Amino acid sequence: MVREIRDRVVLKEIELLERARGAARRLAARVDRVRGDEAGQTPTEYLMIVGLMAAVIVLVFVTFYWANVKTAAQSWVDKVKEAVLGTNITP
């Protein structure tokens, strides 16, 4: 009787260990799949390169054409300010 109970306990322990090993294998397989998946990485890299190029172009443009940019920007700011404050409104 004691031997049967001990055998059942040992079988349950083996069953639990096998389940744990199976779960560990499944988890490792999922981690490998996620780690190996780089499908979204390429578009992100392209966007970063385009953003860097745009920043360089804007920097060069502003550096060489600062006088023109400054007057145009000031004019735009004045127009926005007038629109927000409601000045120079004609009926």
pLDDT score, position 56:
95
Comparing 10 with 89, which gets the higher pLDDT? 10
C-alpha angle 12-9-24 in degrees, rounded to nearest 5: 30
User: What's the pLDDT at 68?
Assistant: 81
Q: State the pLDDT at residue 39.
A: 64
Q: List the Cα angle 30/33/38 in 5-degree steps.
A: 145
Rounded to whole angstroms, how far apart are CA atoms 88 and 12?
A: 87
Q: What is the CA radius of gyration of the chain?
A: 34
pTM: 0.38
Residue 35 confidence (pLDDT): 77
Going 40 to 46 to 49 to 53, the CA torsion angle's sign is: negative
Cβ contacts of 61 within 8 Å, gap of 6 or more: 69
Tokens of 46: 């392209």
Of the chain, the percentage scoring pLDDT greater than 70 comes to 91
Segments making up each domain of the chain, as ranges: 1-37
Q: How confident is the model at residue 2 (pLDDT cuts 50, 70, 90)?
A: confident
Q: What is the pLDDT of residues 7-47, one digit of tens each?
A: 888 888 899 889 989 988 998 888 888 777 666 667 788 89
